Amino acid sequence: MAEIKNDKNQRGKKLYRDNLILFKKITQYINSSNLKCLEKEEALHQIMDMLLQSQVEHKSADSIIKDYEVFCKSIIEEYTSDKSILYTGLHYLQRSVIAMLFMLVPATILLRVTYPKTATGINTFLLLSATGYGFILMRFTHTEKQKTLASSIYFIVTLLAGSFSTTTQLGPTVDGKLISNTNSILVGMLLLVAAIELYKRLYDMKVH
């Protein structure tokens, strides 16, 4: 996969400015999809070939890719057409849980280092923030416009939650409520990610 990626980066230097801008948009969309890393690189490699070929033939990329979002969706559908609904759902769940872990683990470690003598862990506010980050902010944003909108919504919701916790009587109680067995939750999430990965690999071996 590294060779494919390096080759793609080298050939990307040959793209004309307009084609390079288009390819960056396509790359962002594909990378935000639920495709596996190898599938993403293979798809982007093929798209790079198309754009370079269009330059050789003196054709504009727009004549081949009229709507890049529709084009990207068709590419993603090609890769996912042979996967079951269960596979797709579990893959989505796995990526979301990984995104949550990237938020929860550092936050938990920081809290325990900062307050070593105080009971710390995942509180209600942190769990809700990680869930929103993993399942919404990181999973339904394919374009820059969508990312900006999702980030704005996430910021506003976080601001409102922070305001609730500091200006209401119930807020501090909810915000300070620790989820019991923090370590068990984090380990359970890691085991879930590993179990889904095992299922996916067995499924891929069976299909291919």
Of 159, 92, 152, 103, nearest in space to 127 by CA: 103
d(CA 61, CA 78): 21
Q: What is the pLDDT of residues 25-36, one digit of tens each?
A: 888 888 888 788
Domain segments of the chain: what residues? Answer: 2-80, 85-207
6-10, 110-114, 144-148 — which is least confidently predicted?
6-10
Architecture of the domain delimited by 2-80: Orthogonal Bundle (1.10)
Q: What is the pLDDT of residues 65-124, one digit of tens each?
A: 888 888 888 988 888 887 888 888 888 888 889 888 988 888 888 877 887 776 667 777
User: Is there a contact between 21 and 10 (Cβ–Cβ < 8 Å)?
Assistant: no
d(CA 25, CA 27): 5
User: Exposed/middle/buried for 26, CB within 10 Å: 0-12, 13-18, 19+?
Assistant: buried
Structure tokens at 106: 């550092």
Residues in the chain: 208
Reduce the DSSP state of residue 123 to 3 states and report it: strand
Quick one: how many helices (H) and strands (E) in the chain?
Answer: 9, 0
State pTM to two decimals.
Answer: 0.66
d(CA 96, CA 193): 10
Q: Could you tell me which residue, 105 or 148, shows the higher pLDDT?
A: 105
Residue 5 has pLDDT above 70, yes or no: no
Q: What is the pLDDT of residues 167-206, one digit of tens each?
A: 666 656 655 666 777 788 889 999 999 999 999 888 888 8
Residue 9 has pLDDT above 60, yes or no: yes
DSSP lists the bridge partners of residue 123 as: 178
